[in-house]
Amino acid sequence: MQLPKKAIITLAGMGTRFLPATKAQPKEMLPLIDKPIAQYVVEEMVAAGARDIIMVTKKGGHTIEDHFDSNFELEEQLKRTGKRDKLKAVVGISKIANFIYLRQKSYMPYGNGTPLRVAADLVSDGPFFYAFGDMLAQSKTPMAQQLLKIYQKNPEAAAVVAAYPVARKLVSHYGIFKIKPGTKNELERVVEKPGPAEAPSNLMNAGRFLFTAKILPIIRKMKIGKDNELWLVDAIQILVDQGEKVLVQACEGKFCDTGDPLNYLKTTLDFALERADLKDELKKYIAEKLKK
């Protein structure tokens, strides 16, 4: 069977909740400790087998290109000063994958489905990953690899989508999945940001997808939906309505959102507490602050 060798990462959002920090750079370039959020997503895609990383950006996206490009002056400086560990980290960024950059034009509809429309012609030759650039997870097996395992067992599926359980009071922040009765994990319906009373379940869209080319004709022709945006979940629902099998993978580990300041800070703390070089001193600092 053909496995995904390409991944699309969405990096064209406005990042308004982080203004003014995101006035001149994407929110996905904000740091989680010593790496930008986008780098964690890239590393996850590469670990799942992707070799071509398609970055869909907007104005200001040059900061992403610069980060994943080589930097001769910096590399020479690190060599001269003997900072071999930093040199290895910097050089490795540009060599991790083949990077392709596409600009989402300002006249295009806003929404998390638009990057797929922009990149559709580049992924028509086989299955591919699709990742929201501001969503991460802490798990032994990265989300993309979990999706891949399900797809390998179910090659007839048109798509596999990642999900995590979320508190009912938070369902209005995410797309919510309903599993088809009588099945273990077949998608019946998906609703974008429903109210608690309308939510069909508490399984939220975790921003990771494995698609086949069957989604592409839909996203190319689909009309703008709720709030005048092009929603990816609308395309997924059409796929289901056409009789295609879409599987929902309830992923292991902890979901980490970086899309707003509070969740970004929580995620930064979660990642820092997993770092052997940071966690002990950080725990002491937190304990001291809580005493006050």
Assigned token pair, 110: 């806003």
Q: Please count the other Cβ atoms lying within 10 Å of the Cβ belonging to residue 71.
A: 15
The tally of domains found in the chain comes to: 1
User: Residue for token digits 């990077």?
Assistant: 99
> In terms of residues, how long is the chain?
292
| CA distance linking residue 144 with residue 155, whole number of Å | 16
Range of the domain at 221: 6-162+205-257
In a domain, 154, yes or no: yes
Query: Is 51 within a domain?
Result: yes
The predicted pLDDT at position 199 comes to 86
Which pLDDT does position 269 carry in this prediction? 95
Does residue 284 sit within a domain? no
Could you report the per-residue pLDDT of 121-146, keeping only the tens digit for each? 999 999 999 999 999 999 999 999 99
**Mean pLDDT calculated for residue range 150-168:** 94
- The pLDDT of residue 271 is 95
What is the distance between the terminal CA atoms of the chain, rounded to a whole angstrom?
A: 59
Answer whether 160's CB lies under 8 Å from 246's CB.
Answer: yes
* Integer CA distances (angstroms), 53 to 10, 38, 130, 158, 234, in order: 11, 11, 10, 21, 24
pLDDT single digits (tens) 204-247:
999 999 999 999 999 999 988 787 788 999 999 999 999 999 99
198 versus 275: which is more confidently predicted? 275
Whether 124 maps to a domain, the answer reads yes
Assess if residue 58 is contained within a domain: yes
Read off the pTM.
0.92
Model confidence at 41, pLDDT cuts 50, 70, 90, reads: very high
Average confidence (pLDDT) over 92-110: 88
Query: What is the reported pLDDT for 132?
Result: 94
Confidence (pLDDT) at 160: 97
Mean of pLDDT values over 47-68? 91
- Is position 103 within any domain? yes
Q: For residue 92, what are its two tokens?
A: 């490795």
Write down the mean pLDDT value for the chain: 92
Is a pLDDT exceeding 90 seen at residue 106? no
pLDDT of 13 strictly over 90: no
Residue 109 pLDDT grade (very low, low, confident, very high; cuts 50, 70, 90): confident
Residue 109 lies in a domain: yes
How confident is the model at residue 54, as a pLDDT?
97
pLDDT at 194: 85
Name the one residue in this structure whose structure tokens are 């969405």.
10
Give the CATH number for residue 76: 3.90.550.10
Indicate whether 188 belongs to any domain: no
- pLDDT tens for 171-203 read 888 889 999 999 999 999 988 788 888 888 889
